[in-house]
Structure formats: C-alpha cells, structure tokens
Structure 1
C-alpha cells in the first residue's frame, strides 16, 4: 500500500507539473486551453475554472492539455441548423444551444443561414419573430452547449494554429522544462537535508584499506594518481574503477599535505556483475544551501549524460530492453526506495522527473520533441504543415510508443517473476 501511495503521489506530481508548464505558457502566448487532464480515459473528476476544465481521468498513464485548434472542433454550425441563442446585456450572443433547446426557455430559436465563429464572430439566420435575415454578433467567450456540456468557442487568434512558431515552441517545451525545475527543487531538498558529500574522510571502517594505510577523519583528498579530485563523486568513481589496483592519494592534513599509496580492495557488486573498488571510508557532509543547489545542477547533468549514453547504445547495437523500466519495473523500484525512507523518495522522484523530461524531448511523433520538430519544419517552410498529416504521424508515434511500453512491461514481468 505504501508503494502504491508513493507511486500515485510521485507520478501525480511529475505529470501535474509537466502539464502545468504547457498550460501556463500556452495561456501566456494567448492560446485558449480547454482542458487540463491528469490521466486518460473516462473522467473521474472535473471542475471548470475560468476558461479551462480541470479533470482527473481513470487511466494514470500521463496527462494532456487540450489547446484550442489542435484538433478539429467537434461541432460546427452549418446552414440549416436550428440553434438556440441567449444574449448578454449588450445583445451579443453568450450561448449557442445546439440541441436540447427546449430546456432553455429563454433562448431565441433561429435557423442558421451562415456562421463564422473564428474570424467574423457572427451568426446569421431566420427566426419566427423577425422579418428577413438577421445577423447576431457573437461574444469572444461565448459557450457552445451540446448535450448540456459547455465548450467555449475559440476565435482564430486564440487557437494554437494562429500562433507564430516560437510561441508554439514555448508552449510545448515548457512541459519538459518544468520537469527539470521540479527535479532541481527535489534534489535541493534532498541535499539540504542529507548534506552534500565532500571529498573528505569520515568514519574510517575497522580492518579496511583506509585504516591500514592510516587515513584519518578530516583528511581532505586533493588528487588520486595525479588527477585532481573536486568532489566526492570524482573520488568515489576513481576508487570504484580501480579494484585490486594500487593508487596514490594526495591528502591535506593539519600539518600539510601527504602522499599515501594503497591497493584498492575489490568487492563483487551483484547489480553490475563485476568487482568495484572499495577502501572503507564515508564522506564529510556539508549542509550549505548554495552547495545543495550546485550539487542539484550537477546531479541533473549526470543523469542527462547517463540517459544519452544509454540511448547511444541503440546506434552501436548494444541496446537492450533491460536498460528500460516500464510501469511494473518502476513500481518495483519505488517499493525498494520506500523501504529506504522518505528522504530517498525525494531523490527518486527527482530522477524520474529528469527521465520524463528527457524522454518527452526525444524527436519522436506523439512526444513533445516530435511536435517541436514539426514546429521547426513550419518555421523553415514559412507555412504550417498539413494538420491531417501531422495528426497521422502523431497517432502512429503514439501507437508505437504504447507498443514499446507493452514490450518493456512484459520484460519487467519476466525479470521479476521468471
């Protein structure tokens, strides 16, 4: 149960902040956002605030922001339609009732001759109480009511397609960007509480290599084999990559610097199926806020580099599905992290947020990176691409993405239970 709650909270936060980035910056460039959704499928909860309906949906596999103009309008008012109109105090149309007009007794019923709800914002038609064709001005924020469900109209200048390429790009890239912001905050909280490890010796273990060669608490490691050591990560990586090898460590002590040689112990690590170096010391932890921020940026950079190194394996033929984790694998890993304590969940959530940010920026249809590619092509061509062709590309991309998720999930199940 703890694992399930952790998954819901972590992914709810990551998805919400991602979609909020899209929502906030789309609104900033003037795009009407019809819906902000967490999840897919049937609605479990919905609430409208200002122009946007906020929903929680059944399948927790992501989320979306539905921007006006991205998809064709579900209902178009055509000649011959009979609709009901209600009006504001200035006699502009505030509601267009498409069906169930009998429920709206105050509505004026007209037979539509012509309507333009994008550019001209008007409806022309005939009614029983007026002679000849009458033109009605439509308010920019008028609602279309279909089956008692309201949907605000979208004038052309509020639609996604009307915006310049850079404005579209801002709205799209804001989602992944917010994942990096979230990761930075979570890492900063983690390092502020835990502390930032320094390349200084603490807690020398008994009968360890470090004790044998005389390392003591407070020794500051300056270099190993002539290579400068600027962080605990540098020190740790150098030692781990040197099992059963002799290294020379330059340390700074109260009475000056001293060179110490040692043979690094090799310890078998099951997770990587090989020996790693170990000398038996822990780092001194610093609780400086500035260092926490610096370490957070460094951690994000390390994760990004690791992800791209993994992706490069695709081109060398060394890539395996074992490098990926699907919903089952992430659930299993989260369960392990839950057992380590609440603080480690901050770090785990930050790692997931960076991964989701990077994955969304990959240049694949149906992902934000794919949409950025189409925006770039639009900027080069100086005219929009065929929205139908772009829609087909995104649909195919989404189908392939779901196929990959199924394959990775099956691989996770095999790894866990077989």
Structure 2
C-alpha cells in the first residue's frame, strides 16, 4: 500500500506540475482554459472554479489542459433557430438556451435571423413579444450556452488559442516540460537542504552504529590530517587509503576541538564486485548551505538531463533495445524498490522521473508537446500556420502510435516483472 501511495503521489505531482505550466502561461496569454484534468477517461472528481473545471479522471496516465480553440468551438446558431435568452443587469445576453427552454420561464424566446458568438458577439432575430421587429441583442463575452442542461462558456476569438501570437502559443506549450525541469531542480535543492551536499573536505561524516570507526574512538566532525603517516588533503584521499587496507591497522591523526589525537583503526574487509576492500563505517561529510544547495540542484538537473539524452542516443543507434524501455508498470516496480531505501532516494527518483517526463515531451513527436512546437517552428519559417485539419490528422496518427508503443512497453513490463 505504501508503494501504491508513493506511486500515485509521485506520478500525480509530475503530471500536475506539467499541466500547471501549460495552464499558467495559457491564462497569462488570455486563453480561456475550459478544463484542467489529471488523468484520462471518465471523471472521478469535478469542481468548477471561475472559468475552469478542475477534474480528476479514472486512468492516471497523464493529464491535459483543454484550451478554447483547440477543439471545434461551440455549436453554430443558424438562422431559423428558436432560442431562449437571459440577460444581465446591463441588458447583455448572459445565457443562450438551445433546448429545454421550458425550464427557463424567464427566458426571452427569439427566432434567429443571424448570429455571431465569436467575433462581433451579437444575435439578430425576432422576439416572441415583438414578432414584427428585428432586434439586435448584444452578447456578454462571458455568456454561457445551455444545451441539454449543460452550460458551456462561449469563447470570443480573442480568448482562443489560435488567436494568440506565435510566441504566446509557443510558451503555453513549452511551459509544461519547463515546469518538469523546474520541479526536479527544486526537489534536488530540498534534498540538499535536508540531507546536506557531499563535501570533499577530510572531515568525518556520520558514523554507523556498528562500524569499526565508532568502536575505535573516532567521532563525527573529526578532521583527518594523516593516515599511516600519509598526509590527507581531501575526503577522496581518506576513502582510497581505507579501501586499500582491509584488515590492516591504520593510525589516524585527527584534529578534534582544536586538539590533535591519534587513533588506530583496522578497516573491516568487505567484498564488492569481486574485490576485497576496507570499510570503517563512516559516511562522507556533508555541507549545508543555501548556495551549495542551489549549486547541487543545478548540477544534478544537468547531470540527469545529459544522462537521459545519452540513453536516447543509444536507443536511436540501436545500442539500447526497445524491450528495455519501461512504462507505468516498470515505473511502479522501480518505485517499490527505491521506496525501500528511504525518503531521500524516493525524492531523487521523483526528480529524475520529472526530468525524464520533460525530455520525452520535448521530443518532436506528433501529439507530444515537442510535436506541437515543431509545427510552430514550421509556422515561423513559413510565415503562416499549417492547415489545422492537416496538423490535427498528424497529431491523431502520432497519438495512436504512442498508445500502441505504450501497450507494447506495458506488456514487456508485465512479462519482465510478473510472468518470469
């Protein structure tokens, strides 16, 4: 159960912050965001606040922000339609009732002559209470269309995704992967604040309760000046000498509280990868400082970004088999393994997954953020956007292929971990 909770929290957080990036920059650009969803499939939870419906859906394999203009917008109000109109205090239309008008006794019934709910925001028609007079009714830019009891806010053209500048659209899409990198960076900083940043100073870190160092009299914070007569200048020097001396007494000269002390320690023998090495039960020293934590966050984010790109390169060149890829099942199993090592390892794993999600979404594959950014790049070169229907077809095919890949990877994971 703890693994299930850890998996849901980690995966949910990665998706949430990814979609939050899209959401925040879309709102900054003035785009109407109809829905902020975590997961796909049927709704499990739904809450509307302001213009946006916040939902949690059944299948926790992703999420989305539904922006106005990305899908076909609203129904078309054609001449001859009989609709109901409700008005606000400024006598602007606040609700357009398409059917079931009997449920709105206060609505004014109008036979439509012409209507525009995207650009000029008006309805012209003949009202039942004045059938011989053609009237023009102004529509509020935040009016709702009511159909089958469901209210949907209209999206004037200036609130739609496609009406925004290339830069605004690009940022709204790029912000998702960007947030994954920022999340990883922040998580690494938090780890560094809580756990400390590894230091190369020749100072003893925490001692294990059952280690020979503690039994011999060494203490955390001792500064090692020499070992067996060899001068020590870094933690790496300490590690190398100890590893090379299993079962050999070593005289440590340390400075403790401004005073020198000589302590003899005999490293315990341990076999690692077929080699016998010495250990004394001392962790490396750590340093806790804001600057070091920020540097650690940057270094770790850069390191794992580079490592993931190296693995992608091996996949492209055939050095890395598709059978070695992991999907949600593989991630769950790995999360179970990592969770047993402690909270810091779990946090580090979450940060690595976040970087991985950011990079995967930036790949120029249709249906992913990178695929959409690729179309924006083509638009910038052409000076005009690609036909929306053609782009939509490319994204649809890309999404279908991604789902097929997901099924293959998931089946491979099931075989690897559960059908051995």
**Which whole-Å CA distance do the structure 2 matches of 1:196 and 1:168 have between them?**
39
Map of 2:272 onto structure 1: 267
Superposed, 1:358-373 pairs within 5 Å as: 358-373=359-374
Aligned position for 1:283: 284
CA gap 1:307/1:278 in 2 versus in 1, 3 angstroms: farther
What do residues 253-299 of structure 1 show as CA deviations (whole Å, max 9, x unaligned)?
989xxxxxxxxx9832xxxxxx7997647421112222111111111
Query: 1:386: how far off?
Result: 0.9
- CA distance in 1 between counterparts of 2:349 and 2:390 reads 39
Q: Which residue of 2 aligns with 1:226?
A: none
CA offsets 1:45-93 (integer angstroms, 9 cap, x no match): 1111111111111111111000100110242212222211101111110
Asked whether the 8 Å contact 1:200–1:220 carries over to 2, the reply is no
What whole-Å deviation, never above 9, does each CA across 1:182-241 have from its counterpart, x for those lacking one? Answer: 111211111211111122454699899xxxxxxx974599xxxxxxx9xx8xx69x99xx
What RMSD, in angstroms, separates the aligned Cα atoms of the two structures?
3.0
Length-normalised TM-score, structure 2: 0.82
Matches within 5 A, 1:241-320: 267-268=272-273, 280=279, 282-320=283-321
Question: Within 2, Cα distance between the matches of 1:267 and 1:342?
Answer: 25
C-alpha distance in structure 1 between counterparts of 2:337 and 2:114, whole Å: 63
Distance between the aligned counterparts of 2:22 and 2:225, measured in 1? Answer: 46
Q: Is the 8 A contact 2:74 2:154 kept in 1?
A: no
Q: Please report how far the alpha carbon of residue 158 of structure 1 lies from its aligned counterpart in structure 2 after TM superposition.
A: 0.8
Q: Which deviations, in whole Å up to 9, do the C-alpha atoms of 1:286-317 show, x marking residues without a partner? A: 12222111111111111110111011113322
Q: How many residues align?
A: 376
Q: Is 1:162 aligned to 2:163, yes or no?
A: yes
Does the aligned pair in 1 maintain the 2:315–2:322 contact within 8 Å? no
Native 8 Å contact 1:165 1:376 kept in 2: no
Are 2:322 and 1:321 aligned? Answer: yes
Q: CA deviation at 1:114?
A: 1.2
Q: Whole-Å Cα distance in 1 between the matches of residues 380 and 182 of structure 2?
A: 28
Gaps of 5+ in 1: 209-215, 222-228, 244-252, 256-264, 269-274
Change (3 A) 1:82 1:220: farther
Distance 1:276 1:123, change over 3 A: farther
Is 1:88 the counterpart of 2:85? The answer is: no
Larger Rg: 2
Asked if the contact 1:38/1:63 (under 8 Å) is kept, the reply is: yes
CA distance in 1, matches of 2:276, 2:151: 64
The equivalences for 1:16-165 within 5 A come to 16-130=16-130, 131-165=132-166
* CA displacement at 1:25 relative to structure 2: 0.7
Confirm whether residue 15 of structure 1 aligns to residue 7 of structure 2. no
Partners of 2:9 and 2:315 in 1: how far apart? 32
Q: Distance in 1 between matches of 2:308 and 2:323?
A: 14
For residues 16-41 of structure 1, the C-alpha deviation after alignment (integer angstroms, 9 at most, x for no partner) is: 11111111110101111111111111
Conserved? CA contact 2:327–2:406, under 8 Å: yes
Kept in 1: contact 2:101–2:107 (CA 8 A): yes
What does the per-residue CA deviation read over 1:351-393, in whole Å, with 9 as the maximum and x for residues that have no partner?
A: 1111111111111111111111111111221212111111111
Residues 100-109 or 310-319, more deviating: 310-319
- 1:395 equivalenced with 2:391 (yes/no): no
Q: Secondary structure at the match of 1:319?
A: coil
* Counterparts of residues 308-387 of structure 1 (less than 5 Å): 308-387=309-388
Task: Output one character per residue of 1:139-192: Cα deviation in whole Å (capped at 9) or x when no partner.
Answer: 111011112111111111111010111110111111111111111121111121
CA drift of 1:341 comes to: 2.2
Distance 1:206 1:48, change over 3 A: closer
